[in-house]
Structure 1
């Protein structure tokens, strides 16, 4: 094999590792299986990564960093906040259904990271990224519908991540689309209940200053008093 830059070696090995994990689980992602999937020699692996755990930790970071949104709300979605949230959750679920092996691989990697001392902090970074994406989606949904969240958005973002995890894991277990859709509708209602319409700003008048039109009213009263006196 011609000389390959180390960055390209890493990219190929990471991609191969994810394919192996999606197909055979983390336990099946041995160093040998990964290099075979990448069509590379074993020496190439040790040139690119310090260990198998080093590769797996970087794999979680890379996969999570490529995710751009939690709720992919189409730009042409109409309706109120509940409708936008439900449409976004349905869009998320469509991605889960389209690639269930990807979701299984991510759950396996998370569990493996939690059990492996050398991967401490990986799962925490993973879910920190998920919550940041969820927060951005919630702020976008509120802005598009003129609503204001009554609960701190970071707290709602954590709730949203927990809901999407539950929807995903339950569907991977039973494959029941109808049940998933009911849960999505419930989640959208529950989240929307945490917001209220954003009130329009009211005009502000400094204290001790007459309201608009007050001068004319005073003048009219003074004129009436003058007429009565005369």
Structure 2
């Protein structure tokens, strides 16, 4: 059913949400102008009241999705956890979000690839990963502060490592859906990152048994892009 007349800002928001939904299901190649307006329940002619072109919409979509990122690791509230445990639990929480919404993660990778391949849009991918590193640095600073540790290397360098690790965990799991392997990588990542800090006291090793913290996920679904959404 076609939506009634609406303000341009609302029309743009609806088209952006529709584009993300289509990309999540079919990839950027399937996100034609026709597919987007059909998803939004709009007439084709109404598209150009909101955007000059499909490329204009996709460029804004990248910015909206990146602008919606608020955190890389959601660290648990546990004052007794050491650094390695805190990082491992934060990574498991991140992985839970990936498992809960794999289509969204696929769409994020699709948008990154599209931005890198499209003339004039390389800067969008650069901003995307600059934002990820900024959020990762914030997570690492919080983890160190909460456990009384100090990072030996500049936190911005470690943040780049953390982003690379989360990307690798996500992409590998999307390819094989192997929870056990992903959890083993999470345990390795937590150990490797924690080893870069000066800590007081011993650190309890984190075992791949963190799989007990992960529960079966319902059928694949996706969320629309939001400036309040976390990765």
Q: TM-score range by the shorter chain?
A: 0.7 to 0.9
User: 1:114: which partner in 2?
Assistant: 116
Residues 1:123 and 1:85: Cα distance change in structure 2 (over 3 Å) = same
Normalising by structure 2, we get a TM-score of 0.83
User: 1:61: which partner in 2?
Assistant: 63
- Contact 1:77 1:84 survives alignment (8 Å): no
Inter-partner Cα distance in structure 2 for 1:175 and 1:41: 38
Inter-partner Cα distance in structure 1 for 2:91 and 2:79: 13
Inter-partner Cα distance in structure 2 for 1:174 and 1:83: 26
Q: Select the structure of larger CA radius of gyration.
A: 1
Secondary structure at the aligned position of 1:121 is classed as helix
Q: How many residues align?
A: 198
User: 1:22: which partner in 2?
Assistant: 24
What is the Cα deviation at residue 63 of structure 1?
Answer: 1.3
Aligned pairs for 1:58-137 (under 5 A) are: 58-76=60-78, 78-137=80-139
What is the Cα deviation at residue 75 of structure 1?
Answer: 1.8
Inter-partner Cα distance in structure 1 for 2:131 and 2:164: 13
Inter-partner Cα distance in structure 1 for 2:76 and 2:62: 27
Inter-partner Cα distance in structure 1 for 2:127 and 2:79: 32
User: 1:42: which partner in 2?
Assistant: 44
Q: Which has the higher contact order (CA 8 A, sep 6+)?
A: 2
Inter-partner Cα distance in structure 2 for 1:98 and 1:85: 20
Mind listing any 5+ residue stretches in structure 1 that lack a counterpart? 199-230
What is the Cα deviation at residue 77 of structure 1?
Answer: 6.1
Inter-partner Cα distance in structure 1 for 2:181 and 2:148: 30
Normalising by structure 1, we get a TM-score of 0.83
CA RMSD, 1 decimal: 1.2
- Contact 1:32 1:42 survives alignment (8 Å): yes
- Deviation by residue 1:42-91 (Cα, 9 ceiling, x = unmatched): 12211111211111111111112112100011223631100000000000
> Where has structure 1 moved over 4 Å in runs of 4 or more?
none
Mind listing any 5+ residue stretches in structure 2 that lack a counterpart? 201-231
Aligned pair partner of 2:175 in 159, 173, 176: 173
